[in-house]
Amino acid sequence: MKLLSQLKTSTFRLALLYMVVFATSVFLLLAFIYWRTAGFMTAQTDETIEAEIAGLAEQYRGRGINGLITIIRERVARDPNAKSLYLVTTDDYMKLAGNLSAWPEGTQSQRGWINFTLNESIGWTGPERLARARIFEVQGGLRLLVGRDVDDLTALKKVIEGAINWGMGITLALALLGGFMISRSTTRRIETINITSRKIMSGHLSQRIPTRGTDDDFDQLADNLNQMLDRIVYLMEGIRHVSDSIAHDLRTPLTRLRNQLENTLLSVDNDEAREQAGRAVAEADQLLATFNALLRIARLETRGNAADMKPVSLGILVSDACELYEALSEDKEQQFEQTVSEEVMIEGDRDLLFQMVSNLIDNAIKYTPERGSIRVAVYTDGDAAVFAVADSGIGIPDSEKDYVFQRFYRVGKSRSLPGNGLGLSLVSAVAEIHQGQIELSDTYPGKTPPGLTIAIRMPVYRPARRRLRTAQARLLPAADAERERPAASEHTHTA
């Protein structure tokens, strides 16, 4: 599977293209060498044969037919290995002289150059060999064949052909291997960038792409991306800082305004004016509540470690919250169910946890229509204490599940319902302090409405571990102080 995806990368395709070009060049080069070598060898043989023919022709001109036959007999006697081949016959193919016994089969009617096999049918006694010859007619009706054994030559050609085939095979294999290795090292580096990007997209904005320190193009790309991320973080912090400052700075004047309105409310007799002032006070209270929520979240995010962490029974805490919200749920005639195991303990801040749990139950009731169902559960799953709320409400589309934890973010459908979009931001901040992981899923996947299930997994409290950690804290007080200092100095306005 991994190999398959490797083959699909653009780097590998590039390497493949390179390999094809490379292999074609090698093939052309070898083919050219072969063509030149083989051509040269054939030309040499032909030249030798031509030279012999020239010699024989001279003899024939000087001494006639008998002279020709004599010289051929002499030559045959002198060349026992029979590299040169001769045959003189009458025009009806009766042998007169030569070291072949008969005319090669199928070549009787031919003229000029022929290629044939030396075998028994023409009086050859050794193993079969390849030969090349020239045939022509001599005046007076005689036929003459002059040739050479070219078997060694053909064998040599075969060796060269074999070498070319092997050469091509090895070239292809090496090119394929090289292409694969090059593309793999490139793909690996791109994959590191991809992995980091995915982590960042899933919310871990502090992740950075590792560099190799070679300052090559990949390092430069990674550096640029990292700097871009730093910049984004810086800008985001800035925006958050501004919104927190606004909330902080407007809170006092707003409180003063609200109190003045309340005083007015008490002092006027006019019923209408009193009602209007009452509504204005309620609006101001709502605004103050939003500011307070915003500041609470900001404080949690920057000073999370200042939370009052103690062993808490998550089960009892959730039961208490349920008790508080059951009435609200009853009003909507919802079916409210709780499966809470009271022994489940975690280490945390009771007040913060209560706010977190309340916000989630509140959302479930708010976003589930009348006569819907809500189930609240607390249980342990391995080392995790899990708090889960499952409702049968409108749910959150998958594309927006990542965004609902942002401040003021509300899913389109729910904008008509009261709320600011700060509840889940607070939940996320509290969960973070408790090393909690939030999982969002559809209660009824594929159905409409899908409902929503939110589960928060936090480490279970184990007394032994707590003791160990306190011991560590005592041994390492300096490290702890170090960790707290920058957080405390960053957002002083929240004090």
Interacting residues with ligand ATP (CB under 6 A): 359, 363-364, 367, 391, 393-396, 404, 409-411, 414, 419-425, 452
The reply to whether 363 sits near Mg ion by the rule CB under 5 A is yes
Distances (CA, A) of 137 to 52, 57, 90, 134, 322: 16, 12, 10, 10, 120
Residue span binding Mg ion (CB under 5 A) among the ranges 125-133, 285-293, 356-364, 481-489: 356-364
From ligand ATP, Mg ion, none, interface partner of 396 (C-beta below 5 to 8 A by class): ligand ATP
The DSSP string of 158-187 is HHHHHHHHHHHHHHHHHHHHHHHHHHHHHH
CA–CA gap between residue 255 and residue 248 (Å, rounded)? 11
Q: How far is the CB of 288 from ligand ATP (least distance, A)?
A: 14
Residue type, 240: R
> Residues 6 or more apart from 69 whose CB is under 8 A from it?
88, 96, 97
From ligand ATP, Mg ion, none, interface partner of 452 (C-beta below 5 to 8 A by class): ligand ATP
Q: How far is the CB of 191 from ligand ATP (least distance, A)?
A: 34
The reply to whether 421 sits near Mg ion by the rule CB under 5 A is no
Task: Outline where DSSP puts E strands in 285-334.
Answer: 310-313
Residue 425: name the closest of 295, 283, 309, 285 by CA. 295
| C-alpha torsion angle, residues 189, 191, 194, 196 (rounded to 10) | -70
Whether 418 and 437 have beta carbons less than 8 Å apart is answered as: no
Residue least distant from Mg ion (Cβ) = 423
The reply to whether 147 sits near Mg ion by the rule CB under 5 A is no
Whether 144 and 135 have beta carbons less than 8 Å apart is answered as: yes
- Choose between 379 and 409: whose C-beta lies nearer to Mg ion: 409
- Choose between 155 and 417: whose C-beta lies nearer to Mg ion: 417
User: b or e along 143-172 (b: 16 or more beta carbons within 10 Å of the residue's beta carbon)?
Assistant: bbbbbbbbeebbeebeebeeebeeeeeebb
- Choose between 293 and 345: whose C-beta lies nearer to ligand ATP: 293
CA–CA gap between residue 371 and residue 416 (Å, rounded)? 20
Other Cβ atoms less than 10 A from the Cβ of 322: the count is 21
From ligand ATP, Mg ion, none, interface partner of 393 (C-beta below 5 to 8 A by class): ligand ATP
The reply to whether 393 sits near Mg ion by the rule CB under 5 A is no
From Mg ion, ligand ATP, none, interface partner of 421 (C-beta below 5 to 8 A by class): ligand ATP
Q: How far is the CB of 396 from ligand ATP (least distance, A)?
A: 5
Q: How far is the CB of 318 from Mg ion (least distance, A)?
A: 17
Q: How far is the CB of 312 from Mg ion (least distance, A)?
A: 22
From ligand ATP, Mg ion, none, interface partner of 410 (C-beta below 5 to 8 A by class): ligand ATP
Q: How far is the CB of 363 from Mg ion (least distance, A)?
A: 4
Residue span binding Mg ion (CB under 5 A) among the ranges 96-104, 175-183, 296-304, 419-427: 419-427
Whether 318 and 357 have beta carbons less than 8 Å apart is answered as: yes
Residue 343: name the closest of 465, 460, 438, 456 by CA. 460
- Choose between 49 and 352: whose C-beta lies nearer to Mg ion: 352
Whether 358 and 335 have beta carbons less than 8 Å apart is answered as: no
Q: How far is the CB of 242 from ligand ATP (least distance, A)?
A: 20
Residue 238: name the closest of 489, 494, 490 by CA. 490
129 burial type by CB count under 10 A (0-12 exposed, 13-18 middle, 19+ buried): middle
Residue span binding Mg ion (CB under 5 A) among the ranges 55-63, 301-309, 357-365, 437-445: 357-365
- Choose between 191 and 331: whose C-beta lies nearer to ligand ATP: 331
- Choose between 209 and 426: whose C-beta lies nearer to ligand ATP: 426
- Choose between 393 and 423: whose C-beta lies nearer to Mg ion: 423
> Residues 6 or more apart from 129 whose CB is under 8 A from it?
117, 118, 149, 151
- Choose between 99 and 425: whose C-beta lies nearer to ligand ATP: 425
- Choose between 142 and 440: whose C-beta lies nearer to ligand ATP: 440
Q: How far is the CB of 196 from ligand ATP (least distance, A)?
A: 28
CA–CA gap between residue 156 and residue 247 (Å, rounded)? 93
Q: How far is the CB of 236 from ligand ATP (least distance, A)?
A: 18
The size of the interface with Mg ion (CB under 5 A), counted in residues, is 2
Whether 433 and 349 have beta carbons less than 8 Å apart is answered as: yes
From Mg ion, ligand ATP, none, interface partner of 414 (C-beta below 5 to 8 A by class): ligand ATP
Q: How far is the CB of 421 from Mg ion (least distance, A)?
A: 8
Residues that bind Mg ion (CB under 5 A): 363, 423
